[in-house]
Amino acid sequence: MRILIAYLSYSGNTEEVAAYIGDYLNKEGITVEWHRIGIDALSDPADYDLVFLGTFTWERGATPDEVKDFVLEVGYKPENMVIFGTGDTQFGGDDLFCKAADKLAHFYGSSYPALKIEQSPRGSQENKIEQWLEGVLNHAKSYA
């Protein structure tokens, strides 16, 4: 399986989730390639079996500009995108929580629901990431 993890993170929470996903996949024997949005040169999502796209949510549920630029740069809607995001329910409650991740999953017609993590994934939410990843991998294998 060829996997790309693309993410944007300002204060480190989304990066922590990305790193957790990378470590988990490595333990499963899967090699991961990385794309730091706004920094690295873009690879074509079509070259991968799965692309994990991670973002935080910005003011009033907004998708960060760098992620919007990434979407434009990709230029089409790959069918292999799975979305993860971090957010904070203090900014607008459940309605706006990780709204950017939800919007991206909808935009790409992701065949698996977005993973939504409150702030840092450390602690009890690690379990949530693992369960989500098991689901994503099983789902991907069933379509392979």
Ligand X SMILES: Cc1cc2nc3c(=O)[nH]c(=O)nc-3n(C[C@H](O)[C@H](O)[C@H](O)COP(=O)(O)O)c2cc1C
**Residue 90 region, left (φ>0) first, then alpha (ψ -120 to 50), else beta?**
alpha
- Min dist. Cβ of residue 71 to ligand X (A): 18
Distance CA 22, CA 63 (A): 23
Residue nearest to ligand X (CB): 87
> Which residue number, 128 or 139, has a Cβ lying nearer to ligand X?
128
Minimum distance from residue 125 beta carbon to ligand X (Å): 11
CB of 47 to ligand X, least distance (A): 26
User: In which region does residue 98 sit, left (phi positive, over 0), alpha (psi from -120 to 50) or beta (all else)?
Assistant: left
State the residues that interact with ligand X by CB under 6 A: 9-15, 56-61, 86-88, 91-92, 96-99, 119
Taking the least distance from each CB to ligand X, the nearer of 55 and 110 is 55
Cβ pair 101, 17 in contact under 8 A:
no
Would you say 59 or 73 has its CB closer to ligand X? Answer: 59
Q: How far is the CB of 48 from ligand X (least distance, A)?
A: 22
First vs last C-alpha separation in the chain: 10
Beta carbon nearer to ligand X, 45 or 87: 87
Pairing mode, strands 81-87 and 115-118: parallel
